[in-house]
Amino acid sequence: MLAHHSFTTTAELKGEHHMVPEVSRRQFMERFGITIGALGAGASSLLLPGTAQAQTPAPGPKPKGNIPDKPYKTGHMTFFTGPAAVLGEPSYKGHMLAAEEINAQGGLLGKRKIETLKADEAAGTDANVKELRRMKLSENIDCFTGVISSGNTPALGPVAEELKVLTLFDDGCTDFLFEKAVPNPHYVFRVTNIQSADGIMAALAASTAWPKITKIAHIHPDYSYGRNAFDHFNIAMKKLSGNIEVVSEAWPKLGTTEFTAHITKTISAKPDLLFCSVWGGDYVALYKQALKYDLYKKMKVATTLAFGVAPHALGKDHPEGIVAGVHANYHFLYPAGNKWPLNAQFVKKYYERWKEYPNFEAEGAYTSLYMLKMPVENANHLVGGWPEDDAIIAMLEGLMYESPAGYVYIRPDNHQGYKDAITGFAMQSKDYPFPIHDPKRVITVPIRSITAPPGYAKGEPTTTYKWIDETWPRVS
């Protein structure tokens, strides 16, 4: 392992630092496996009631041995109050939908009903750590799930390891978690994509659509997520577009809903492109204000989370043609139609249960619980009875799971879930009361093309940043 590790680094360093290879844009796209558009059936086929039949997932194989009928306790921590409740509520709804479905079949292995304890992530990092301890020590939870903020997973991860509690984070997607905070995870897993993918996907989409952009303006929330988006967008753009120039920066506090001065500053810098990772209610306020200043007529715009928060949070006035990110993760219209029936089924079930469309948190929390169910069944099949946590963990490592969003692969070395990243261009459609991605221009990228591979020497600010800097060719 160690030998392989250092071999890779030296080779890469030697190969790239002396001579940055140049490739054409077309070669680049082919080499990276970037796919644009051609979604087959098109977006409208997901309209409800859809063509896909909502099915109850088939029960697993018949359990072996004696299974206790004691409830399986999960602690689900997410934002139930404050501005981030806009993400927290779908997370809880996704979790509950999966729990209800599994319980309708008798529970895990047909015997152990899933019982969910809620915890409000808005309590703050210290309180969240205490709550995790309490849930393990007093409530004796079997599994810990949820968590949205990237500020919280690095604090909760080490404690989960210490408490030896099986943990499936749905989000809190900072690269930092498995690079620094929990470098050798045993009990901790994370299901959704990695933060660095957000900035890189926006750069790929923007440079593909508008190859000539060089002058970039930034507006980001002033915390780790905004910084991460800023760094990774810039390093990817450096490779994709050559000489980029950052002409304006604005760092509003998370929770800002008054952007007039930021907008004027951005416009006055005359950029080709505005890149922005503002999200939630902040984003809604930003786009509504930017419209009034004619910002969208003066520059191209790329975002990381415009469509991520909730499909129905945006209005018919949302501008078209901008790169509308979904946290590089999941949008309910993709994979489209019957191309990937699991998605159509999930969307239909979620809509019927909660009367709204799912976002990436809903899909992540739903998938997490099913990614627990499958290893439990596999481990039971091998050893019989209720499996020990270590047996479940062994089955989770390297698991390839078919989620509504596509295949998710749990890398055994860092316990991170990997799935293809997605973004697209905003379009108003008569089929939905909110904007969707233009079905002809959805961009998907194999996650391995935009994330540092196993064993790559760690770097700053993230390993992926260093990997891009050292190994990506430059588009000529």
Partner 1 sequence: MDTLLSQILNSLFYASILFLIACGLSLVYGVMRIVNMAHGNLYAFGAYVAAWTVGLVAGRLPDVNPVVLFVLLLAGALAAGAAGAVLEPTLLRPLYKRAEEYQLLMTFGLLLVLEDVMRLLWGPHPLTASVVSDALPSVSLLGLTYPGYNLFVIVIGGVAALALWAFVYRTRFGVMLRATSQDMRMASALGINVKRVYVQAFTIGCLMAGLGGAVVMPISGAVLGMGVDALVLAFVVVVIGGLGSLEGALVGALIVGFVRTLGIMYFAEVELAVLYLIAAIVLFVRPAGLFARA
The residue behind tokens 């644009």 is: 36
Alpha helices in 105-218 (DSSP H): 125-137, 153-163, 176, 196-209
Residue 101 or 131 having the CB closest to partner 1: 131
Residue 163 or 254 having the CB closest to partner 1: 254
Residue 169's alpha-carbon distances to 46, 60, 382, 426, 430, in angstroms, are 29, 24, 26, 29, 36
If one asks whether residue 256 binds partner 1 (CB under 8 A), the answer comes out as: yes
If one asks whether residue 260 binds partner 1 (CB under 8 A), the answer comes out as: yes
Alpha helices in 181-248 (DSSP H): 196-209, 224-241
> What secondary structure does DSSP assign to 425-463, as a single string?
BEE--TTSSS-EE-TTS-EEE-GGGTSPPTTPPP-SS-H
Q: How far is the CB of 306 from partner 1 (least distance, A)?
A: 13
Residue 251 or 409 having the CB closest to partner 1: 251
Q: Which of 348, 308, 341 is nearest to 434 (CA)?
A: 308
Q: How far is the CB of 267 from partner 1 (least distance, A)?
A: 8
Task: Tell me which DSSP letter residue 402 carries.
Answer: E
400: part of which helix (H) or strand (E)?
strand 400-403
If one asks whether residue 320 binds partner 1 (CB under 8 A), the answer comes out as: no
Q: Which of residues 216-235 bind partner 1 (CB under 8 A)?
A: 222
Residue 56 or 268 having the CB closest to partner 1: 268
If one asks whether residue 352 binds partner 1 (CB under 8 A), the answer comes out as: no
Q: Which of residues 277-306 bind partner 1 (CB under 8 A)?
A: 280-282, 284-285, 288-289, 292-294
Stretch that binds partner 1, among 67-75, 160-168, 252-260, 410-418 (CB under 8 A): 252-260
The residue behind tokens 């993760």 is: 329
From CA 86, how far away is CA 192, in angstroms rounded?
18
Residue 284 or 452 having the CB closest to partner 1: 284
- Please select the residue that binds partner 1; options are 146, 154, 221, 252, rule is CB under 8 A: 252
If one asks whether residue 319 binds partner 1 (CB under 8 A), the answer comes out as: no
Residue 60 or 88 having the CB closest to partner 1: 88
Residue 163's alpha-carbon distances to 142, 339, 426, in angstroms, are 11, 42, 44
Q: Which of residues 90-149 bind partner 1 (CB under 8 A)?
A: none
Q: Which of residues 9-68 bind partner 1 (CB under 8 A)?
A: none
- Please select the residue that binds partner 1; options are 42, 82, 412, 433, rule is CB under 8 A: 82
Task: Tell me which DSSP letter residue 334 carries.
Answer: B
| Residue 135, both tokens | 């849930």
Q: How far is the CB of 79 from partner 1 (least distance, A)?
A: 8
Stretch that binds partner 1, among 193-201, 251-259, 340-348, 420-428 (CB under 8 A): 251-259
Residue 114 or 147 having the CB closest to partner 1: 147
> 3-state DSSP call for residue 223?
coil
In this structure, the dihedral spanned by the alpha carbons of residues 36, 39, 43 and 44, taken in order and rounded to 10 degrees, is 150
Instruction: Name the site residues for partner 1 (rule: CB under 8 A).
Output: 81-83, 85-86, 88-89, 222, 249-253, 255-258, 260-262, 264-265, 267-268, 280-282, 284-285, 288-289, 292-294, 310, 312-313, 315, 317
